[in-house]
Amino acid sequence: MTTPDKPTVPEVAPAPVARPSTLFTPKTRALFVLVVVAGALAYFAFIAFRGATVNYHTVAQALALSPTAADRQIGLKGKLVKGSFARSASGLVANFRVRDEDGSDTLNVRYSGEVGQVFFNEHSEIILQGAIGADHVFAAEQLTVRCPSKYLTEQEKAELEAQNGGLPVPPPYQPDYFKTGT
């Protein structure tokens, strides 16, 4: 016996199943996040170090730069101009002039802060950080005084002592340093 033919139903291809993209696998996502975080840290480090660095200049170079941008500080190295140091009655503001090593250029400086027992003399190197204002006065925020005798070599010390008959040369301190009482 023959069976009637069943109508054949054409086979339908199964519907495509959505596959996850291979572009953003978990490894790729982790790598992407790592690159973004590393880039952000590098950017912040660059900004922090750029703001923390201070370029030091001579007095002549600082005069050529003036005035300084409001968000920048510069460093200044110079020697005290003899007789220019004046301290306010409160002792918290010092006004003086600094000069280059050769003494040709001078710049007025105002330092607001604790001056303390700093030995100001024309032989000491003064290291300042701050900005030059529109009035061409260097407003110092940090002040360091380096006594030259502290950084002399043994040969230089011996030469100075030989000039003074073998005796150590007393440093020429500013006269107002030793004033007592007010």
pLDDT in tens, 46-76: 888 776 677 888 888 888 876 777 677 888 8
Mean pLDDT to the nearest integer, 153-159 = 71
pTM: 0.56
- Domain hosting residue 172, numbered range: 55-178
pLDDT at 61: 85
Q: Which tens digits make up the pLDDT trace of 87-135?
A: 888 778 889 989 887 767 889 999 988 776 666 666 678 889 888 888 8
Per-residue pLDDT, 176: 46
In this structure, what token pair is assigned to residue 15?
A: 């519907």
**Inside any domain, residue 49:** no
Residues in Cβ contact with 130 at an 8 Å cutoff, skipping those fewer than 6 apart:
73, 74, 76, 138, 139, 140, 141, 142
**For position 146, what pLDDT does the model report?**
78
Which pLDDT does position 34 carry in this prediction?
95
Domain count, the chain: 1
In degrees, rounded to 5, the angle at the alpha carbon of residue 166 between the alpha carbons of residues 163 and 167 is 95
For residue 36, being part of any structural domain is answered with no
Q: Check which CATH number belongs to the domain holding 146 and give it.
A: 2.40.50.140
In a domain, 26, yes or no: no
* pLDDT at residue 178 tops 60: no
Give the C-alpha separation, 106 to 133, whole Å: 15
Residue 175's pLDDT band (cuts 50, 70, 90): very low
Between CA 173 and CA 144, with CA 86 as vertex, the angle to 5 degrees is 65
pLDDT in the model for residue 42: 94
| In the predicted structure, residue 43 carries a pLDDT above the cut 90 | yes
The answer to the question of residue 140 being in a domain is yes
